[in-house]
Amino acid sequence: MTSHQDLDSQKKAAALQAVEYVRDGMVVGLGTGSTAKHMVIALGEKVRAGMQLRGVPTSQETAVLARQSGITLIDTDNRWEIDVAIDGADQVDPGFNLVKGGGGALLKEKIVAGSAKLFIVLVDQTKQVPVLGGSFPLPIEVIPFGWGSTAREIEALTKSRVVLRQRNGAPFKTEAGNLIVDVHLARIDRPRDLEIALNQIPGIVETGLFVGRTDILIVGRPQGVETLHASKG
């Protein structure tokens, strides 16, 4: 059984490998979550050593950590071009498709990933799965208005249980003021088809499916870090 400390070490090793892709003067998309936290801290060390870079955070939590680490942040209300975005994932399949959104930042994470010239994903080995779904639900961000009807349509489409995410006894609210429903799918065999179908349902803001977006996957393992490149074509 892999301990939490061992997994954290794997995440940190993957993060240290990822920041080697960052060059002086770049604009960097800063992901959210436990693995991305190591990445932000590592970038802060590069900044203190003299590297010039600017960051686009995917959450308030990441923004706070970036500022504490000395990273200059870009006004996120403006138009920006991101050289490289680095983020974690809750699941990754052999085709480099992801499930993200366990931390509730999936909307900003997908906007940043979509704006980046290079999208690097960091995971420990436990996040690699033969097929998405099963052990981790699919998060979907929905607007509060009529969310119950939206959830019913998701259930009808997926034939799966849909649960409103709660925190401290109240509905979880994203930074955009929306809700998240977690869809408990046994398996997601065709993630691209599912993403397209879900996006047809009124009330869905964004899904936690990241399909065909990953350029580089960095996996932390007990024996070291493995770097995999997506074959896109």
Same domain, yes or no, for 117 and 149?
no
Query: Contact at 8 Å (CB) between 29 and 22?
Result: no
pLDDT for the residue 158? 97
Same domain, yes or no, for 109 and 194?
no
Distance CA 129, CA 55 (A): 30
Find the CATH number of the domain harbouring 111: 3.40.50.1360
Same domain, yes or no, for 65 and 162?
no
pLDDT for the residue 147? 98
pLDDT for the residue 233? 52
Sequence-separated (6 or more) residues with CB below 8 Å from residue 131: 93, 187, 188, 189
pLDDT for the residue 187? 97
pLDDT for the residue 128? 96
Q: In what order do the strands lie in the sheet with 91-92?
A: 91-92, 98-99, 209-210
Distance CA 94, CA 90 (A): 14
Question: SS3 of 23, please?
Answer: coil
109 belongs to the catalytic site:
yes
From the first residue on, what is the mean pLDDT of each consecutive set of 10 residues in the chain (233 residues)? 78 94 97 94 96 96 96 85 97 97 96 97 95 97 98 98 96 97 98 98 98 97 94 64
Find the CATH number of the domain harbouring 144: 3.30.70.260
Sequence-separated (6 or more) residues with CB below 8 Å from residue 171: 164, 165, 179
pLDDT for the residue 232? 60
> What tokens appear for 147 in the block?
């969310």
> What tokens appear for 167 in the block?
């925190």
pLDDT for the residue 5? 79
Same domain, yes or no, for 38 and 153?
no
Cα-based distances in Å from 56 to 9, 30, 39, 76, 111 = 25, 6, 13, 7, 11
Distance CA 195, CA 156 (A): 15
Same domain, yes or no, for 109 and 154?
no
* Stated pTM of the model: 0.95
Domain limits at 115?
Answer: 4-128+212-222
pLDDT for the residue 78? 74
Distance CA 116, CA 17 (A): 18
233 located within any domain: no
pLDDT for the residue 80? 86
Closest Cα partner for 91 from 129, 119, 137, 124? 129
Neighbours of 8 (CB within 10 A): 16
Number of domains in the chain: 2
Distance CA 180, CA 165 (A): 6
128 secondary structure, DSSP code: B
41 located within any domain: yes
In the set 109, 141, 195, 206, the catalytic residue is 109
